[in-house]
A and B are shown apart, each in its own frame.
Chain A
Amino acid sequence: MRPGSLFAALILPFALALAVLSGSASPATAAVEVNINQGNVEPLPIAIPPFAGRDQRSQNVGAQLAQVISSNLQRSGFFRPLDPNSFIERNLDVSVQPKFEDWKVINAQALVNGSVTTEADGRLRVDFRIWDVYNGQQLQGLQFLSTPENWRRIAHKISDVVYKRLTGEEGYFDTRIVFVAESGPKTARVKRLAIMDQDGANPSYLTDGSYMVMTPRFSTTDQEITYMALRADSARVYLFNIETARQETIGDFPGVVFAPRFSPDGAKVAFSVDRAGNSDVYLMDLRSRQSTRLTNDPSIDTSPSFSPDGTRIAFNSDRGGSPQLYVMNADGSGARRISPPGSGRYTTPVWSPKGDFIAFTKQTGGQFHIGVMRPDGSDERILTTSYLDEGPTWAPNGRVLMFFRETEGGASRLWTVDISGRNAQLAPYPSAGSDPAWSPLLK
């Protein structure tokens, strides 16, 4: 990441046209499918040859599209893209049915092929089809039209279409991650707000490192984030629009202001304010700038996270003697503990965008874990264990969590894990980072 790229990689308007390709109609059900909810998933062998192009430039784009789609699908853990060197049929034409026998021989169960064309107006047109190799059927055929600099986003959108067609769940590839890029020794760490595509491409800094930033979170409706800035004598929460780079505080509260998170409609921010050693949860309406105090308890109350329907808020409190997870109504009433008794210290509850789980950080026996439980506290699953795992964030499809892991004496790195606990891996960001937050699907 270059310091010079400050604000350089903001989101480009994605004027995208989508069309259904003509050809054989999609069958109602596909024989080729990944059941991502069964106990042991065998990744689906899939062939993604370079997309065809009439000229060299189109062919280059076509090769890169296939690479980006392949690595997206591979990282999901549900697909096994086959080595293009093993392909028998070459130079496929997207308007012609492939030779299925050639793909069966190499055990490809699905095939994605496509073509890249530069239109007369300079736009990039990408046609692609998803094939069920064993049944010899087209599963889907679509066309994307956009400006050439958007080619990566086209690749992500195609990845999302393939993922959805073959797993039945929404994709999450056309998304970004806002996080904290870390540098320097532990006792003098520099923490800068940073953003990148979910696959690690287009990283850029949003703050210059002259003050510490923490806990950035995306608005669920907008390209807006909220985060906390810590200076020698102040701790404040900010709003930041990543399209306009406009930044403002949510108000000059006396005391330490921290732990911000948007409501699902983007109209409010829940956060904590500490006054005289007592942290409580507040809610601010961003239009009226009126804030309401939601908790009023001498304990620590922090880390609020809304349910996706906006009716409830999960939060962290030590009112019972140690940090545990609680859920209350969005007006602050009816708080009750959901984390099980005698099982460890629970913090950072984050409600899944699907509403079915709450992710958290848990401490037991000197180790940290990322886990999920139902909003009523049942069905707890521990997904990871290390010296320090912290701060889960949900992919918009509610299937994948990103978090950060610090090994003993090592740098903090971004990781992802499936909610089944499988497929824990380093996120595609090569340097030290923490506090990731996943964007919703881009518009």
Chain B
Amino acid sequence: MPLTLRSAVNSVVVLAALLALGACATPKPEGPAPVPPPPTAPTPPPARPLPPAQPPIARGPIPGSVEDFVVSAGDRIYFDFDQYSVRPDGRLVLDLQAAWLNRYPGVQVRIEGNCDERGTREYNLALGARRAESVRAYLVSRGVNASRITTISYGKERPIDSGTNEDAWAKNRNGHTTLVSGAR
């Protein structure tokens, strides 16, 4: 069964995990609401014995898992209206995707091209296919074997944001990378 991580809930969990690990998480302008920092141990007053050190907690995504892919690379890049060229912010994500995929060569992926609702159904199926191909070609140019990648267009049929404004449309114009097999 193909594994996908789409829900905003998962993104928040992932971001919280990052913060808990002390990783460098750059807040995105359109990202989810700020997550309160994890509780830290109160600073002990001086001249008292230090409490025993916290044992290291093995937390965070399992390396090679879908969650790991989403956290360390990101599974979606975004496009401008009626465009299919990969933007600079998308290149950063795809570079990370390619590095991750090159680390886990047994993983097969499906690139899904998506469009906003400001176009007609058939045109958007064609546009989504172009976006999926842009992502595919980029990953291949970064060393991912073409035989590991399939593409599909969902046109405007699978929006992730049901809104009817530019923010929602911008989210719905995307290329989504789904790990279909081989992930842990």
Contacts and interface: CB of A to CB of B under 8 A. Distances in A.
Contacts of B10: none
Contact of B150 (A186, A215, A233, A303): A233
B110 A233 contact: yes
Contacts of B162: 185-187, 409
B120 A347 contact: yes
Given A256-B125, A277-B133, A390-B120, A212 B84 contact: no
Contact of B120 (A185, A187, A272, A348): A348
Contacts, number: 100
A33 interface: no
In this complex, the interface size class of chain A, counting residues with CB under 8 Å from chain B, is: 35 or more
A302 interface: yes
A186 B164 CA distance: 11
Contact of B84 (A255, A258, A277, A387): A277
A276 B133 contact: yes
A187 B164 contact: no
Interface of A (DSSP majority class): strand
B122 A256 contact: no
A234 B122 contact: no
B80 interface: no
A215 B122 contact: yes
A359 interface: no
A279 interface: yes
Interface of B (DSSP majority class): mixed
Contact of B127 (A189, A300, A363, A366): A300
A187 to B, nearest CB: 5
A257 B31 CA distance: 35
B2 A232 contact: yes
B110 A277 contact: no
Interface in B110-150: 110, 117-123, 125-127, 129-130, 132-134, 150
B5 interface: no
19 contacts: A214-B121, A215-B121, A230-B155, A232-B2, A232-B152, A235-B125, A235-B152, A255-B129, A274-B126, A277-B84, A277-B130, A277-B132, A316-B122, A318-B123, A348-B120, A366-B118, A406-B117, A408-B164, A409-B162
In the A-B complex, the 10 residue pairs with the closest CB atoms: A277-B133, A274-B129, A186-B162, A279-B126, A347-B120, A300-B126, A277-B130, A408-B164, A259-B122, A258-B125
Interface of A: 185-187, 189, 191, 212, 214-215, 230, 232-235, 255-256, 258-259, 272, 274, 276-279, 300, 302-303, 316, 318, 322-323, 345, 347-348, 361, 363, 366, 387-388, 390-391, 406, 408-409, 435
Interface of B: 2, 82, 84, 110, 117-123, 125-127, 129-130, 132-134, 150, 152-155, 157-162, 164, 180
